[in-house]
């Protein structure tokens, strides 16, 4: 291989090595290979006795069981200096999944049951309607939330992606990513939650 081509290949490899960390997942155990380790909230490891015994495929992900009287959630604390945060969540709904779309709005300023115990996240007031919430809380800077609209009739895997505003300055910032689910019945099996940085 000519010397010029060799230098070009070496340069391309160096650039690739430096680009890979920029796309590394900011969250820990986002593929749930270690069950619900590193995640807080209501996620549970799948029950190995609840699946099809004739199918030896191991169960993947974690399970959220909806409650009738309060919201459920999964969340993780992390630190980053990324300006933009690209998230992705992949999940499967059970055949009996049914969010309660008739939840009354909270009277006065009562916190939404189930979302009032997350350290570092301000009190939330979940609206009725069956939507999920993606919440990003930034230490000392408040929080923002966005609705997610899963298809309740689809039992095949679904994936939602979005972009959140990250750290405003150059210093790393402590943050909390929360996915919250309204009252109802059925289960949500989460198979992946990822977050990467980047300007695009």
Residues 6+ positions from 138 with CB-CB distance below 8 Å = 167, 173, 174, 175
State percent of the chain over pLDDT 90: 55
Residue recorded with tokens 């989460």:
190
Residues 6+ positions from 76 with CB-CB distance below 8 Å = 27, 28, 38, 39, 40, 176, 177, 193
What is the distance, to the nearest Å, from the Cα of residue 61 to the centroid of all Cα atoms in its chain? 12
Per-residue model confidence as pLDDT tens digits over 146-182 = 899 999 999 999 999 999 999 888 899 999 999 999 9
At 104, list the tokens: 């009354």
Average pLDDT, the chain: 82
Q: Could you give the C-alpha distances from 22 to 49, 81, 165, 196, in angstroms and in order?
A: 40, 11, 16, 8
Per-residue model confidence as pLDDT tens digits over 132-142 = 999 999 987 78
- Please tell me which residue, 39 or 47, carries the higher pLDDT value: 39
What pLDDT shows up at residue 127? 62
Model confidence at 23, pLDDT cuts 50, 70, 90, reads low
- Determine contact, residues 192/88, Cβ cutoff 8 Å: yes
Domain boundaries, the chain: 27-197
pTM of the entire predicted model: 0.81
At 45, list the tokens: 């490891």
CA separation for the pair 195, 30 (Å, rounded) = 8
What pLDDT shows up at residue 47? 73
Q: Where are the beta strands (DSSP E) in 139-172?
A: 142-148, 158-165
CATH code at 27-197: 2.60.120.260
- State the first-to-last Cα distance of the chain, in angstroms, to the nearest integer: 36
């Amino acid at each position: 291989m000519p010397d010029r081509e060799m230098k070009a290949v070496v340069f391309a490899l160096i650039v690739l090595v430096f680009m890979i960390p920029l796309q590394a997942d900011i969250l820990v155990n986002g593929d749930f290979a270690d069950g619900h380790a590193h995640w807080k909230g209501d996620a549970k490891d799948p029950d190995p006795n609840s699946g099809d015994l004739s199918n030896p495929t191991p169960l993947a992900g974690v399970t959220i069981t909806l409650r009738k009287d309060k919201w459920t959630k999964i969340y993780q604390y992390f630190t980053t200096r990324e300006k933009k945060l690209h998230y992705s969540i992949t999940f499967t709904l059970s055949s009996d999944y049914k969010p309660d779309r008739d939840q009354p709005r909270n009277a006065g300023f009562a916190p939404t049951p189930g979302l009032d115990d997350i350290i570092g996240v301000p009190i939330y007031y979940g609206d009725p309607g069956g939507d999920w919430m993606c919440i990003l809380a930034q230490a000392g800077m408040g929080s923002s939330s966005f609705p997610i609209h899963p298809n309740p009739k689809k039992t095949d895997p679904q994936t939602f992606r979005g972009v959140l505003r990250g750290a405003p300055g150059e210093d790393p910032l402590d943050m909390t990513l929360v996915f919250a689910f309204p009252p109802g019945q059925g289960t949500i099996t989460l198979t992946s939650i990822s977050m990467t940085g980047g300007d695009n």
